[in-house]
């Protein structure tokens, strides 16, 4: 099963992707993470991508598609995977269809004020990438990761001026994808406004969709046998 997770920045894609990975075993492919790895390695692609990422702009499609293709070519992806952060526009969705069948698209729906609060307070561990929030999920010691002791930092693209830009790009470029996938009958909306303390309300909705889809996929396989 190939799953796509769509949501504005701060909608919780990373959190729910982790849940889906743990429960269903699908590898979690985040194009944002793949690009940040390239930036950290200072590869040619990373140096180019950084110019766009630090301003909250979308990285050119051909660069993202290159990192994505090389990741999903690895053996762990052969039975399906979860895409987080890709596609970000209709052109990327059309490119994706050339080499992949999409099984289901989960759209995380969160009001703008919740998004702004989540993003501006978010802190990430430089070492293990664990995510905290200055109020909602504070670390035991300020600035230090509870899990590995690494340094917590605010990503360049989570600074207020850049957040506004990312949200604008989401509205203009990524939102049209909802209509695109809805017309194909692949879109499922998840009400994801709840805080982390009520995360089960979100996970149960995701579970219901994925259970239904996996039953459908099993039934299809039986018919074709
Ligand atoms: P994310 O971690 O998904 O919020 O992505 C962080 C940044 O990486 C985005 O603001 C973009 O600059 C870049 N990025 C991630 N995925 C894509 C994509 N599919 N297309 C273009 N840029 C992307």
Q: What is the pLDDT of residues 138-179, one digit of tens each?
A: 999 999 999 999 999 998 888 888 888 889 999 999 999 999
Q: Has residue 186 got a pLDDT over 90?
A: yes
- pLDDT at position 224, please? 65
Residue nearest to atom 11 of ligand 1 (CA): 58
Q: Each residue of 87-126: b (16+ CB within 10 Å) or e?
A: bbbeebbebbeeebebbbbbbbebeeebbbebbebbbbbe
Inter-residue contact 100 to 128 (CB < 8 Å): no
Judge if the beta carbon of residue 5 lies within 6 A of ligand 1.
Answer: no
- pLDDT at position 124, please? 93
Q: For residue 225, name the pLDDT band (cuts at 50, 70, 90).
A: low
Dist CA 203 CA 60 (whole Å): 32
Judge if the beta carbon of residue 9 lies within 6 A of ligand 1.
Answer: yes
- Kindly state the average pLDDT of the residues 36-56: 94
Judge if the beta carbon of residue 14 lies within 6 A of ligand 1.
Answer: no
For residue 101, give Cα distances in angstroms to 105, 158, 180, 188. Answer: 11, 32, 15, 16
Residue nearest to atom 5 of ligand 1 (CA): 32
Q: What is the pLDDT of residues 92-102, one digit of tens each?
A: 999 999 988 99
How much of the chain is helix, strand and coil, in % rounded to 5? 55, 15, 30
- Give the whole-number percent of the chain exceeding pLDDT 90: 70
Supply the residues annotated as catalytic.
13, 88, 122, 155, 166
- CA 31–ligand 1 middle distance (angstroms): 6
């Amino acid at each position: 099963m190939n799953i796509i997770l769509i949501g504005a920045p701060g909608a919780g894609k990373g959190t729910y992707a982790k849940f889906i990975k743990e429960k269903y075993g699908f590898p979690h492919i985040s194009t944002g993470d793949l690009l940040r790895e390239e930036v950290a390695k200072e590869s040619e692609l990373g140096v180019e991508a950084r110019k766009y990422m630090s301003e909250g702009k979308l990285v050119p499609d051909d660069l993202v598609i290159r990192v994505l293709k090389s990741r999903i070519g690895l053996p762990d992806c052969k039975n399906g995977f979860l895409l987080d952060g890709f596609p970000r526009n209709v052109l990327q969705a059309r490119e994706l269809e050339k080499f992949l069948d999409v099984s289901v698209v989960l759209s995380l729906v969160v009001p703008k004020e919740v998004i702004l609060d989540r993003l501006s307070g978010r802190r990430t561990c430089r070492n293990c990438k664990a995510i905290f929030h200055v109020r909602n999920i504070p670390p035991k010691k300020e600035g230090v990761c509870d899990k590995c002791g690494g340094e917590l930092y605010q990503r360049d693209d989570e600074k207020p001026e850049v957040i506004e830009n990312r949200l604008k790009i989401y509205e203009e470029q990524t939102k049209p994808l909802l209509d695109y996938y809805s017309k194909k009958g692949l879109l499922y909306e998840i009400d994801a406004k709840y805080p982390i303390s009520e995360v089960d309300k979100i996970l149960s909705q995701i579970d219901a969709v994925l259970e239904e889809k996996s039953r459908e996929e099993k039934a299809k396989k039986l018919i074709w046998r």
